[in-house]
Chains A and B, each alone.
Chain A
Amino acid sequence: MFVTSAFAQESAPSADTSHAATEGDTHSGTSVPAEAHGAFPPFDPATFPSQLLWLAITFGLFYLFLKRVVMPRVGGIIDVRNDRITQDLDQAAKLKGEADAAVAAYEQELAEAKTKANAIGQQANDAAKAEAETARKKVEAALDAKLGEAEARISSIKANAMKEVGSIAEDTASAIVEALVGGKASKAEIAAAVKSVAR
Chain B
Amino acid sequence: MAADKVDPIHQFHINKLIPIDIGGYDLSFTNSALFMVTTVVVAAAFLFLTTSSRSLVPGRLQSVSEMAYEFVGNMLRDAAGTQGMKFFPLVFSLFMFVLVANLLGLFPYFFTVTSHIIVTFGLAVLVIATVVVYGFMKHGFGFLKLFVPHGVPVFLLPLVVLIEVISFVSRPVSLSVRLFANMLAGHITLKVFSGFVVSLSALGALGVAGSILPLAMAVALTALELLVAFLQAYVFAVLTCMYLNDALHPGH
Contacts and interface: CB of A to CB of B under 8 A. Distances in A.
B14 A26 contact: no
Interface stretch (B28-36, B133-141, B216-224): B28-36
A75 interface: yes
Interface residues of B, number: 63
B183 to A, nearest CB: 10
Contact of A26 (B8, B65, B90): B8
Given A50-B30, A63-B93, A66-B96, A58 B16 contact: no
A9 B13 CA distance: 13
Among B20, B28, B113, max chain A CB count under 10 A is at B28
Contact of B14 (A30, A41, A81): A41
Given A35-B15, A48-B118, A26 B56 contact: no
A58 B90 contact: no
B4 A51 contact: no
B215 interface: no
Given A26-B196, A42-B180, A84-B56, A63 B25 contact: no
A56 B119 CA distance: 10
A125 B126 CA distance: 97
A52 B47 contact: no
A27 interface: yes
Contact of B4 (A31, A44, A74): A31
Contact of A73 (B9, B54, B88, B113): B54
A47 B66 CA distance: 36
Main secondary structure of the interface of A (DSSP, over half): helix
B92 A71 contact: yes
Interface string B119-161: 1001100100000000000000000000000000000000000
A53 B22 CA distance: 12
Given A40-B9, A42-B116, A76-B54, A25 B199 contact: yes
B60 to A, nearest CB: 15
A42 B66 contact: no
B97 A59 contact: yes
Given A26-B192, A49-B27, A51-B119, A41 B47 contact: no
A151 to B, nearest CB: 101
A46 B196 CA distance: 32
B40 A31 contact: no
Nearest to A32: B13
B47 A55 contact: no
Contacts of B44: 62, 65-66, 70
A50 B33 contact: yes
Interface in B20-75: 20, 25-30, 32-33, 36-37, 39-40, 43-44, 47-48, 51, 54-56, 58, 62, 65-66, 69-70
A73 B53 CA distance: 10
A28 interface: yes
A48 B88 CA distance: 28
A74 B69 contact: yes
Contacts of A84: 56
Interface in A53-109: 53-56, 58-59, 61-63, 65-67, 69-71, 73-78, 80-81, 84
A61 B40 contact: yes
A29 interface: yes
Contacts of B47: 66, 70, 74
Interface in B221-244: none
B93 A59 contact: yes
Q: 7 tightest A-B contacts by CB?
A: A29-B3, A54-B33, A67-B89, A41-B12, A58-B36, A62-B40, A63-B93
11 contacts: A25-B196, A43-B117, A50-B14, A51-B30, A51-B119, A58-B33, A58-B39, A63-B93, A66-B44, A74-B51, A78-B70
Given A48-B118, A62-B40, A66-B93, 20 more contacts: A9-B9, A26-B8, A26-B196, A30-B3, A40-B12, A41-B9, A41-B13, A42-B118, A42-B184, A50-B20, A50-B26, A51-B122, A53-B27, A55-B36, A55-B118, A59-B126, A67-B89, A73-B54, A80-B56, A84-B56
